[in-house]
Structure 1
Amino acid sequence: MFHRKGFDDFVATLAGTSLVDQWDAHVAKVGGKVFVLLSADEGGAALTFKCSEESFELLTTLDGIGQASYFAKRKWVTAAERAPLSATELEAYVKRSYELVAAGLTRKARQALGIDG
């Protein structure tokens, strides 16, 4: 997930997503709304994603994970490569971010993008 190919391959498995380069990051969107960013971090790469309030409280206590700049008030975190999360855990958090953001889209927009629910 911390390398562009792995990031792109995972994001491509989620319905209705698009990828753009903006804000000095590689950004994944659903319905035009950001759900995860891949960016450079001191000493490596970092992922920024939305999470639930409970996950936000838990994740921000871990080394290598902090409140995301400009996003923290909305429960976004930035996880550095050194963060103690497995690839499976990161994928689950990114998928949950996608679900949280997609849930904010209109039903019509979700249907047009092929998103169930």
Structure 2
Amino acid sequence: MVDGRTGREVADRLRAAALGLPGAWEDSPWDGDTVAKVGDKIFVFLGGASIGVKCARSRAEADEWLHRYPDDATVMAYIGRHGWNTLRTTGAIGADELPEAIETSYELVVSGLPRSRRPAPVDPSRAVPAD
């Protein structure tokens, strides 16, 4: 349990946070894998006990997660050299840091999309309060 919640509750909360971002949608491009995309680009790999996110533009910057959480953050297979990490959702990483990591990944991926394919920004005055 993390912060009094089960792993399933944490996974559901993180999925909702990802899909609540402008233009985000769920896809299953590979058997058994669920991702959240913006446009045609993945910005988070959603798993039960972990998520895969783009933590920074470079591997060196993304390594900060590995230093802060050596038992709970790892370089993501295949795409890790591009700043992607796997973060355990049931370990020492704070419950507030995981949604922030998803938002960072989203922002990094959106910034790489052509302007014509970026979702419209959300008006903060119309935002739904967090639970």
TM-score of the two chains, using structure 1 as the length reference: 0.81
State how many pairs are aligned: 109
Question: Structure 1 or 2: larger strand share?
Answer: 1
Change over 3 Å in CA distance of 1:18–1:32 after alignment to 2? same
> 1:60 and 2:78 equivalent?
no
Establish whether residue 83 from structure 1 lines up as the match of residue 87 from structure 2. Answer: no
RMSD: 1.9
Distance, in Å, in 2 between the alignment partners of 1:22 and 1:65 is 24
**Unpaired segments of 5 or more residues in structure 1?**
none
Given that 2:89 and 2:98 are in contact with CA atoms closer than 8 Å, whether structure 1 keeps it comes out as: no
TM normalised by structure 2 equals: 0.73
| Superposed structure 1 runs of 4+ greater than 4 Å apart | none
Report Cα offsets for 1:38-92 as digits up to 9, x if no partner. 125xxxx110000114641211222121000111110100012343211211111
State the shift of 1:2 in Å. Answer: 4.1
What is the letter of the counterpart of residue 49 of structure 1? V
Residue type of the alignment partner of 2:104: R
> Would you say 1:16 and 2:23 are equivalent positions?
yes
Give the equivalent residue in structure 1 for 2:128. Answer: none
Residues 2 and 38 of structure 1 are in contact (CA less than 8 Å); yes or no, is this contact kept in structure 2? Answer: no
Q: Among the aligned pairs, what percent are the same residue?
A: 28
What secondary structure, in the 3-state scheme, does the structure 2 residue paired with 1:29 have? strand
* Larger CA Rg, structure 1 vs 2: 2
2:31 paired with 1:31: no
